[in-house]
Amino acid sequence: MDISRAEQRILHLLAQGGRIDIEKDETKTIVAVTCVTREGWRAGGLDIALFRKLKRRRCIASSGGRPYRITQRGLELVRSQLNNR
């Protein structure tokens, strides 16, 4: 299965140790999502539609109320990239 460039970028950040934090309102509806790198920086390019798409494809998951992380399926879909440091 092919994934878009935006999905690839977010999955790559998660594979390196990042996480996705979500904010909910009083009715438990997701109002904001934030991708945080392993260094603690906020990464752009993640919106609610992309978050739902990754969750629907089972590339990310949360357990026990913790932030969303990459799953084994997400690791299989992400292509390896050189780290540009």
What is the C-alpha R_g of the chain? 12
d(CA 28, CA 16): 29
Q: Mean of the pLDDT values across residues 32-39?
A: 96
Give the strand pairing for 30-36 and 60-61: unpaired
Look at the pTM and tell me if it is higher than 0.85.
yes
The 10s digit of each residue's pLDDT in 36-81 is: 999 999 999 999 999 999 999 999 999 998 999 999 999 999 876 6
**Cβ–Cβ under 8 Å, residues 33 and 45:** no
**22: closest CA among 14, 33, 31?**
33
Q: Where are the domains of the chain?
A: 5-74
Residues 6+ away with beta carbon under 8 Å from 11: 3, 54, 59, 70, 74, 77, 78
**Cβ–Cβ under 8 Å, residues 23 and 30:** yes
